[in-house]
Chains A and B, each alone.
With several copies, the nearest count.
Chain A
Amino acid sequence: MDLSLSPLELEFRDEIRAWLHDHHPGPSPDGIEEQFDFRLAWQRTLHDAGYAGIAWPQAYGGRGATLMQQTIFNEEMVRARAPAPANILGLIMGGPVVMAHGTEEQKRRFLAPILSGEEVWCQGFSEPDAGSDLAAVRTRAERVDGAWKITGQKVWTSFAHRAKWCMLLARTSEDARYRNLTYFICDMQQPGVTVRPLRQITGETEFNEVFFDTAAVADDNVIGGVGNGWQVALATLMFERPGLGASSALQIRMTLTELAELIRAHGLDADAGIRRRYAQLVVETETIRLNGYRGLARAIDGVPGPEGSIVKIQWAAINQSLTELAFDVLGHDGLADQPAWTYRLLRARANSIEGGTSEIQRNILAERVLQLPRLR
C-alpha cells in the first residue's frame, strides 16, 4: 500500500499542471452551442498535446499510460478549472466499450476519431418507459436487406445534435428479458434521426430526445453480438465509475471551499451547528476520494466492479446536502440574486437520478456485492 505518488507520477503531475497553467483556454463563453464549440477546440488542443486518452493503448492513438496517470490528469483538469473535453461520452464510455467488446476492425474505425474529437458520441439507452428498468427498451431494430432499421425514441441524450455516433440499445428479438437487446453504434447524421432539445429544471438544455424512424445501421456496427446488448450496456455503465471518485471529490472540495467562504461571509464560522454540518461534508468527501482510489486499485487488476455504486451514491448525497447547507447559510440572502448557488441546488437534484438512480445503485450493491436475493 502506498498513498504517495511515485517519482514518475509526480513528474507527470507536474508536467500536466505546468501545461494546464500555460494552455488553459480561459473562461467558457455564454451559450450552450458556443460552449460546445469551445470544448471541442479544447479537446483538439489536448489531443495535439497528447493528453487525450491517457490510459488508452498507443495502438489506438492513446498515450498508453496507467489508470493512475489518467486519474492524476483528471484531477489536474478539475484543479485548473479546465473545461471538460467535448466528446466526454466517447472518451469514458464509447471508447472503452469498443476496446472491450469491439472487433479489431471496429477499434480501428472508431477509436482515433473519438480521441481527436472529430466524431462526437452520444448515448441512447433511456426511453420514456425504460428509465431504471433499462431492459424494457422498446426501440426496435429490424433486419432489412442485410442491415438494421431502427425505430423508437430515446431520452436524456446529451449533445445528440452534435454527435456523429450514438451508443444505442434496441430490441432485436422477442426472446426473454436481458437476451433480446442488441448494442448498436448508430450514425446520427442521417434523415431517419430527429433530435429535439429537452429542457431541464435548471433551464438548460443539456439533454435531448431523439426519435429514430427506420434509421439505418450497418451490420458492422453491432457491438458484442446480436442479443448481448444488455450485458454490453451494463459493462458500459461500469466504465463510468472507477477513478471518478478522486476527481469528483476534488470538485466537491473546491465547492466546499466556496461554501466555507460563504459561511465566513455570513459570520457563521463560529456556529458549531453549521461548522459540524460543513465538516461532516468534508469527511464524506474525503471518503469519496479514498473509496475512488481503492476502487481504482481494484480496476487496475481487472474489470471495474459494482463497488463504484458506493461512490455514485455518496457523490449525489453530498452534492445535495452541500447545496442545502449553502441555502441555510444564505438565509434571507437566498431569496434572490444567487444564480450560482441556485443552479447548483437544482442541478444537484439530478445527481441521484442520472447515470442510474441512487435506488438502482443500492439494488446493485445489495444484489451484486452483498448477494442479497433479487425481488422477482
Chain B
Amino acid sequence: MRFDLDDEQRAIKQAVHDLSAARYDAAAANRRDSTRTDEFWPELSAAGWTALSVPERWGGQGAGVLELSLVVEELGYALAPATFFGNAAAGLLVAASQHEEHRQRWLPGIASGERRAAFGQVQRDGAGLALDAEGAAIAVLAFDGDALVVDPVPAGLEVADGIDLTRRVHRIAPRAAEPLHVGQPHAVDCVEILIAAELVGVAQHAMEMAVEFAKQRQQFGRPIGAYQAVSHRCADMLVLVESARSAVLSAAWTADHEPSGLPFAASVAKVAAVNAAWHVAASALQVHGGMGFTWEHPIHLFLRRASASSRLLGSADQHLDRVAGLTGLGGSDHRTAEAALPAATDGAAAMSRH
C-alpha cells in the first residue's frame, strides 16, 4: 500500500497544469466576453487527452478514473469550460451502457474528440440542462441513476441563466433522447468523482489566491496573513482542501480497483469536495475584503463555479444520507456493529461494511 501518485500520474497532472496555466486568463476573462471561445478544448483534444480513460477497444488509452480525475482537477484549478469534463463524464456513462452498440456508436467520437459529448442532467421539472453543449455532437443527461443520450445536439441552444460565468448552461429537451441503460451502477459514482475532483481544483486555486493575498496585503502595519483571524482561516482551508483531495484520490482508486467500495468512497469524496470548494472559495473571498467583492477580481469566479458544480448529480445531503445508510443507520437491514467492523486496512469497501 502506498497512498501517493506514481511518476506517470504526477506527469499527467503536471502536464495538464502547465497547459491550463497558460489558458487560465482566457477562462477567467470569459466572464467579460459574451462571444466566448474555449481555449482549452482544441489543445486538449489535439493532444489526445480526450482518449485518456476510454477503453482501448474504442480508440482510447484505457487509463482509469484516477488519471481522469487528475486531469479534471487541474482543469477545475484553471476554471476551464465544461467541454473536457462533459466529454469525459459522458464517456464514463456510455462505456457503462448495457448495449454494445452504444459504445460502438459514441465512444470513438468521444475518444478522438471529433464527436464531442456534453454532460448534463434532467431536472425535477423534466427539462434538460447541459454544460457548454453548444457545438457538441451529442449530450448525455443523467437521469435517476441512468442517463439519456441526445444525438444530435440541435444547433442554436438556448442559454439558461446560471451562476457560473465561466461555463454556459444550455437547455436541451430530453424528449427525443435514448436511454443508455447504464449497466454498472457505479458509472454515475465515477462521474460524481470527476465533479469532486474538479471542486478540489477550484478549492486549491482559491486557497492559493487567498494565501498569496494575505502575504502581500498590508493593514495596521503588517501583512494581514500575520493575523490569526486570517492565518487560521487559511489553515482551515488547507485542512479542507487536503482532506477533499485525499477523499477524491481514494475514491478514484477505488473505482478502478475495488468497485464494491465505490458507493461509500464516492459519497465521502463528493461531500468532502462540495464542503471544501464552497467554504474555501467563500473564505478566500473574505480574505480579499472589499477587493474580493469586485467584478474585476477573479475570486468570485471560483465561488460561482463551486456553487454551480455542487448542483450536479447528488447533493451533499443525499450523499450523507447514503453514508449513514452504509455505516450502521441503514434502516432495518443493518448488521450488528461488531461483526461488520473492519480494520481500516481492509479497504474502503470494508469501511462501508458492504
Contacts and interface: CB of A to CB of B under 8 A. Distances in A.
B254 interface: yes
A2 interface: yes
Interface string A250-276: 100110111011011000011011111
Interface in B57-101: 66
Contacts of A199: 294-296
B151 interface: no
Contacts of A17: 343
B169 A286 contact: no
Contacts of A320: 282
Interface string A361-376: 1110111011111111
A198 B291 CA distance: 10
Interface stretch (A56-64, A92-100, A110-118, A333-341): A333-341
Contacts of B228: 359, 362-363, 375
B218 A283 contact: no
B323 A279 contact: yes
Interface residues of B, number: 97
A200 B297 CA distance: 9
B328 interface: yes
A211 interface: no
A327 B246 contact: no
Interface string A131-147: 11100100000000000
Given A286-B351, A298-B4, A366-B235, A260 B161 contact: no
A356 to B, nearest CB: 11
B169 A258 contact: no
22 contacts: A5-B347, A9-B345, A68-B2, A79-B341, A201-B300, A247-B344, A264-B328, A276-B320, A279-B271, A279-B329, A282-B268, A294-B3, A294-B242, A300-B2, A331-B315, A334-B311, A335-B160, A345-B163, A359-B232, A370-B238, A372-B230, A376-B226
Interface of A: 1-6, 9, 13, 17, 68, 71-72, 75-76, 78-79, 126, 129, 131-133, 136, 155-156, 198-201, 203, 246-247, 249-250, 253-254, 256-258, 260-261, 263-264, 269-270, 272-276, 278-280, 282-284, 286-291, 293-294, 296-298, 300, 307, 310, 313-314, 320, 324, 327-328, 330-339, 342, 345-346, 349-350, 352-354, 357-359, 361-363, 365-367, 369-376
**The 5 A-B residue pairs with the shortest CB-CB distance in the complex, in nearest-first order:** A260-B328, A290-B246, A336-B160, A287-B243, A199-B295
